């Protein structure tokens, strides 16, 4: 039995890199992860891992720090050392947030990193891509049986019969986040030799190999693992059944079936510093040939006074998703305060100019019931008496915020038998008809071939993937 924890997208930010003030607050509001409390959140997870005496291995799958600065890297590495001092084996890979493009050596989107002062920002020392390998050599490559010299990817025995192949897919930055030809050959050879030795193979990389939602790969194909189609087929050909990924910050488990009929799962994990951040706990049972995946979140954050709130409730109001929900009522009651709280992620100047239109629209939206949408989607007749009464008593805005809450957490609650799903699907279908009739190209562009707004909407209404984004038992061969 091999057991490990997997943490991804820790986006660690050193406390030395900011002082309290507008610059860091606005930066954090515009994101969907908690930057200021990233050290406390990571430390609380680490405490949990250390308390678990039965799990001896910890994996980190990239975007370990938020913006490639050296101070955060040193502090992050101290955390890895703490885990090692507690007897854990630690294996990590890096990704694009872990370095900055220096001297034009690559095209990483991060050109530099900053410290947030009270009034602005100032540059800080950064990690070049070429420095990552040596800096983290002791956490994977140094213990590996084989290392791909081009990418720094490595192959390591987790336990007898279980092999981890960690694929460093920081590529050359933005346009290609995968392995190059030489790396693909190395990976193929590693999988083949592990299989020949009778080992179960577990893969880990940063970028998604299966798109979490159809619209994701369609709109931002470059955010996928570079060469994901090829890797998907390779996994099916070689009988590799699971890969762990991050990057999307989305808790999402999806299955792919290849041309030869074999399947694998991409287990994508939510960012550790999302309000609903979780780590995966994985058991690979070599006797049964099963890989069990579960998820562990936080109830409290060590060293943080949440005023009696759960960690989730405390953190949810920090970023734009939660702030939007919390500040929406202010549009009616205190518009200036609404603008103050949403600066950093909403166009405050435009909202100031259009105060009356926004207040009017928000007032309408606030009162709108699901039954109004049922009328638009022409689904009223398909609802039972009870369902219609439910629709008349359910606010659209509450449903919208509930969907928003599950974007990163997975497991949205609106299965096809719910009133919400029936009504929203009918609205999406009507929108499909309108878009097709009037050939609205701006929306047609968003729809993947063979899909529709209704099909796309299902990804966000309920778990139409495996039924549970937090837990799965995968047969491995
Ligand atoms: Fe990330
Ligand atoms: Fe990423």
pLDDT tens readout for residues 347-399:
999 999 999 999 999 999 999 999 999 999 999 999 999 999 999 999 999 99
The pLDDT of residue 442 is 95
Q: How far is the CA of 177 from the centre of ligand 1 (A)?
A: 13
Rounded to 5 degrees, what are φ and ψ at 177?
Answer: -115, 70
The pLDDT of residue 107 is 67
Q: How far is the CA of 11 from the centre of ligand 2 (A)?
A: 9
The pLDDT of residue 428 is 98
467 domain residue, yes or no: no
Question: Which positions ≥6 away from 367 have C-beta within 8 Å?
Answer: 395
Q: Is the pTM of this model over 0.85?
A: yes
Q: Which residues have CB less than 5 Å away from ligand 2 (the ion)?
A: 63, 95, 247
Same domain, 245 and 340: no
466 domain residue, yes or no: no
Q: How far is the CA of 307 from the centre of ligand 1 (A)?
A: 29
Same domain, 296 and 366: no
Same domain, 226 and 368: no
Give yes or no for a contact between 366 and 373, defined as CB atoms under 8 angstroms apart: no
280 domain residue, yes or no: yes
Same domain, 297 and 315: no
The pLDDT of residue 14 is 98
83 domain residue, yes or no: yes
258 domain residue, yes or no: yes
11 domain residue, yes or no: yes
Q: How far is the CA of 413 from the centre of ligand 2 (A)?
A: 27
Question: By residue range, what is the domain housing residue 121?
Answer: 2-302
Report which bound ligand comes closest to the CA of 7. 1
Same domain, 298 and 316: no
Same domain, 417 and 319: yes
Same domain, 77 and 117: yes
Report which bound ligand comes closest to the CA of 272. 1
Q: Which residues of the chain have pLDDT under 50?
A: none
Q: How many CA atoms lie within 13 A of 408 on its CB side?
A: 24
Q: How far is the CA of 375 from the centre of ligand 2 (A)?
A: 41
101 domain residue, yes or no: yes
Count of domains observed in the chain: 2
Q: How far is the CA of 113 from the centre of ligand 2 (A)?
A: 16
Q: How far is the CA of 7 from the centre of ligand 2 (A)?
A: 13
Q: How far is the CA of 276 from the centre of ligand 2 (A)?
A: 18
130 domain residue, yes or no: yes
Q: How far is the CA of 129 from the centre of ligand 2 (A)?
A: 14
Rounded to 5 degrees, what are φ and ψ at 294?
Answer: -130, 180
Size of the chain, expressed as the number of residues it contains: 477
The pLDDT of residue 109 is 75
């Amino acid at each position: 039995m091999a057991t490990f924890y997997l943490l991804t997208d820790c986006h660690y930010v050193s406390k030395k890199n900011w002082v309290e003030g507008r610059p860091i607050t606005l930066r954090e509001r515009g994101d969907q992860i908690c930057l200021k409390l990233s050290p406390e959140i990571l430390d609380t997870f680490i405490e949990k891992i250390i308390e678990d005496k039965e799990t001896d291995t910890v994996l980190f799958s990239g975007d370990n720090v938020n913006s490639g600065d050296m101070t955060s890297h040193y502090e992050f590495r101290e955390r890895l050392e703490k885990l090692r001092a507690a007897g854990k084996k630690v294996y990590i890979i890096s990704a694009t947030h872990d370095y900055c493009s220096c001297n034009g050596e690559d095209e990483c989107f991060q050109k530099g990193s900053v410290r947030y002062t009270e009034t602005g920002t100032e540059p800080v020392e950064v990690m070049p891509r070429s420095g990552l390998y040596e800096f983290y050599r002791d956490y994977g490559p140094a213990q590996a049986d084989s290392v791909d010299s081009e990418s720094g990817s490595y192959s390591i025995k987790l336990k007898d019969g279980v092999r981890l192949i960690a694929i460093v897919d920081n590529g050359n930055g933005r346009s290609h986040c995968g392995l190059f030809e030489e790396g693909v050959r190395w990976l193929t050879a590693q999988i083949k030799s592990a299989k020949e030795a009778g080992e179960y193979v577990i893969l880990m990389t940063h970028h998604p190999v299966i798109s979490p939602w159809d619209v994701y790969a369609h709109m931002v194909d470059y955010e996928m693992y570079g060469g994901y189609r090829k890797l998907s087929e390779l996994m099916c050909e070689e009988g590799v059944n699971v890969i762990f990924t991050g990057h999307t910050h989305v808790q999402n488990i999806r299955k792919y079936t290849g041309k030869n009929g074999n399947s694998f799962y991409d287990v994508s994990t939510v960012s550790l510093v999302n309000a609903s951040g979780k780590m995966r706990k994985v058991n690979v049972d070599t006797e049964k040939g099963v890989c069990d995946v579960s998820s562990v979140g936080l109830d409290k954050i060590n060293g943080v006074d949440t005023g009696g709130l759960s960690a989730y409730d405390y953190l949810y109001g920090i970023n734009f998703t939660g702030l939007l929900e919390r500040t929406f009522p202010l549009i009616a009651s205190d518009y200036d305060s609404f603008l103050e709280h949403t600066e950093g992620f909403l166009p405050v100047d435009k909202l100031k100019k259009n105060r009356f239109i926004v207040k009017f629209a928000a007032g309408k939206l606030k009162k709108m019931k699901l039954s109004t949408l049922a009328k638009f989607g022409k689904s009223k007749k398909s609802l039972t008496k009870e369902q219609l009464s439910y629709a008349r008593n359910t606010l659209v805005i509450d449903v919208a915020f509930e969907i928003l809450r599950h974007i990163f957490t997975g497991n949205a609650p609106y299965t096809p038998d719910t009133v919400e799903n029936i009504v929203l699907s009918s609205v999406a279908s009507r929108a499909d008809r309108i878009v097709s009739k009037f050939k609205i190209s701006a929306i047609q562009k968003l729809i993947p071939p063979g899909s529709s707004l209704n099909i796309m909407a299902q990804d966000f209404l309920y778990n139409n993937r495996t039924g549970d984004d937090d837990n799965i038992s995968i047969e491995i061969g």
